[in-house]
Structures are given as C-alpha cells and as structure tokens.
C-alpha cells in the first residue's frame, strides 16, 4: 500500500519524506488555506515546492465547478510539474472533466467520493485515483471502511486500473484496516504514519537491550 500525506505543510512533508516511506502528497483548498497559502500564484508555487520535496504524485485540486474552467485550471496545474495529479470533485462536470483529462493523458484524482456508485463512475471516466473519504463517513455514523471494501470488490470484478486512495484517514487503525481490505493508497496526517511506529513492548525491549549491553561493555 502506498502512503500519501494529506497536508500542505512543507515541514511535515519533509519529515515524512525523510522517513523514507512516503509515496506522495494530497492537498485540498482547506489544507492550503490552513497554511496561509492564498492567491493563485502563491498556490501554484506551493505545489511546485511540494513536488520538489517528494518523489511521488502530488494531488492539486481545481476550484472551478464547471467543465470549461475545470479543464482550464487542470491543464494549468498539470503543466506545473510531471508529478501533479489533477484533483477533481465528484460532480457531473467533474466526471466530464476526468474523461477529458484521461483522453489527454493527464492523470486525475476524483475527490469527495462517498458511495460505491460514485467510485464506479470515476473509474469509468478513467480517474487514476478515486478518493473515498472514510473519516467523514465515520463522522456521520456510516462505516467508511465498508465503502473501501465495496469499491475494492467492484474494481476487482472488472479489473479497473483506478487506484483506491483511502482519504480522510484519521488514525493508525484506519491505515491498518485499509491495508487489510486492499486499498491501493492511503492519505492521512503525519500522525497516522508515525503512529504506526509505536508499541510499548518495542520501547521496553529496546531499553532492556541497551541496559544489558551497557552492563557487559562498561
Ligand atoms: C483527501 O484527499 C482529502 O484531502 C482529505 O483526506 C480530507 O480529510 P479530512 O476529512 O480529514 O478533512
């Protein structure tokens, strides 16, 4: 399973990259705003800065919601860097835009996906990634992981090449369960990756190993 980090914070991206297990980055307009990145030129520059830190795909989201402007924005984003994947919302014009981009060889990430039917449409349009938001489903008492399982089954039934990018991951158990189901990618905060490191028996065991080493080598 690929690990993407879901942030526009350059320090956190650098930290995840330094760990050596990062495969890409996802951003969205809220994450850009959180970092205080405003204005078209600053936003575009920030995407390039992110691409220069990571080796993998970087999702950059269009703001337009109509086909013509999504295409215009998406083409501008795709020209920024070869790592850019154009993130397009799951709406009617979004599906048209994904099909357009697919035909032009521009890779897309279909975002704001909350149902298996939406995921099926995204795959039919040729999206490189589909982003089901599991945390936001959990937030409204709907099993987000169940959606990942449904999409996995549908995509496997028809050999769709669209990768399932489990999004809105909030914690390590989401990561582990997504891996068990067979999501191709997960995107979450840095803590959802570094949290996988933690186990008290590792800490206790290491402390004991170092203590015993010191006894024999002092
Ligand atoms: C996906 O690409 C989104 O940016 C993201 O995962 C949304 O997560 P949230 O529900 O924690 O905001």
For 128-145, the pLDDT digits (tens) are: 999 999 999 999 999 999
Q: Which residues make beta-bridge pairs with 60?
A: 86
Alpha helices by DSSP H, listed for the chain, are 10-19, 29-34, 40-53, 67-80, 92-103, 116-125, 134-139, 144-158, 172-181, 190-194, 200-216
**Cβ pair 31, 60 in contact under 8 A:** no
- Exposure string (b/e) for 154-180, b if CB count within 10 Å is 16 or more? bbeeeebebbbbbbbbbebebbebbee
Q: Using CA atoms, how far apart are residues 72 and 181, in angstroms rounded to an integer?
A: 36
**Number of structural domains the chain divides into:** 1
The closest residue, in CA terms, to atom 7 on ligand 1 is 168
**Cβ pair 22, 42 in contact under 8 A:** no
Count of beta carbons in the 10 Å neighbourhood of residue 194:
13
pLDDT classification of 218: cutoffs 50, 70, 90: confident
Q: What pTM was computed for the model?
A: 0.96
State which residues form the domain around 46: 2-216
* pLDDT for the residue 1: 98
Distance 168 CA to ligand 1 centre (A): 4
Q: Is 136 in the pocket of ligand 1 (CB under 6 A)?
A: yes
Q: Using CA atoms, how far apart are residues 167 and 198, in angstroms rounded to an integer?
A: 22
Largest CA distance in the chain: 72
Q: Using CA atoms, how far apart are residues 60 and 31, in angstroms rounded to an integer?
A: 11
Q: Is 135 in the pocket of ligand 1 (CB under 6 A)?
A: yes
Average pLDDT over residues 6-21: 98
Average pLDDT over residues 198-212: 98
The closest residue, in CA terms, to atom 9 on ligand 1 is 168
Known catalytic residues?
Answer: 87
Q: Is 26 in the pocket of ligand 1 (CB under 6 A)?
A: yes
Question: What is the per-residue pLDDT across 39-81, written as a single tens digit (0 to 9) for each?
Answer: 999 999 999 999 999 999 999 999 999 999 999 999 999 999 9
For β-strands 185-188 and 129-132, DSSP reports them as: unpaired
Question: What is the per-residue pLDDT across 159-182, written as a single tens digit (0 to 9) for each?
Answer: 999 999 999 999 999 999 999 999
Distance 6 CA to ligand 1 centre (A): 7
Distance, C-alpha 39 to centroid of its chain: 23
- Ligand 1 nearest-atom number relative to CA 189: 11
Tokens 């109509």 -> residue:
66
Q: What is the CATH number of the domain that holds 198?
A: 3.20.20.70
Q: Is 96 in the pocket of ligand 1 (CB under 6 A)?
A: no
Contacts of 54 (CB under 8 A, 6+ apart): 13, 17, 22, 24, 25, 83
Ligand 1 pocket test: which of 58, 90, 164, 168 has the largest number of ligand atoms within 8 Å of its C-beta? Answer: 168
Distance 45 CA to ligand 1 centre (A): 21
Distance 166 CA to ligand 1 centre (A): 9
Question: What is the per-residue pLDDT across 73-121, written as a single tens digit (0 to 9) for each?
Answer: 999 999 999 999 999 999 999 999 999 999 999 999 999 999 999 999 9
């Amino acid at each position: 399973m690929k690990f993407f980090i879901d942030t526009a914070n350059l320090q956190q991206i650098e930290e995840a990259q330094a760990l050596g297990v990062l495969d890409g980055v996802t951003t969205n307009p809220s994450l850009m705003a959180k970092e205080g990145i405003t204005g078209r030129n600053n936003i575009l520059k920030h995407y390039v800065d992110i691409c220069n830190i990571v080796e993998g795909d970087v999702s950059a989201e269009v703001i337009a919601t109509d086909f013509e402007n999504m295409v215009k924005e998406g083409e501008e984003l795709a020209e920024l860097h070869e790592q850019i994947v154009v993130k397009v919302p799951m709406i009617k014009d979004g599906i048209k835009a994904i099909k357009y981009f697919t035909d032009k060889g521009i890779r897309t990430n279909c975002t704001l996906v909350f149902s298996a039917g939406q995921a099926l449409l995204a795959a039919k349009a040729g999206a490189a990634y589909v982003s089901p938001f599991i945390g936001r489903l959990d937030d409204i008492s709907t099993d987000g992981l169940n959606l990942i399982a449904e999409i996995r089954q549908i995509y496997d039934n028809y050999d769709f090449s669209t990768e399932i990018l489990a999004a809105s991951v909030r914690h390590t158990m989401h990561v582990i369960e997504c891996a068990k189901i067979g999501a191709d990618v997960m995107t979450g905060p840095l803590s959802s990756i570094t949290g996988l490191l933690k186990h008290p028996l590792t800490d206790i065991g290491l402390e004991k190993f170092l203590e015993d080493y010191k006894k024999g080598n002092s």
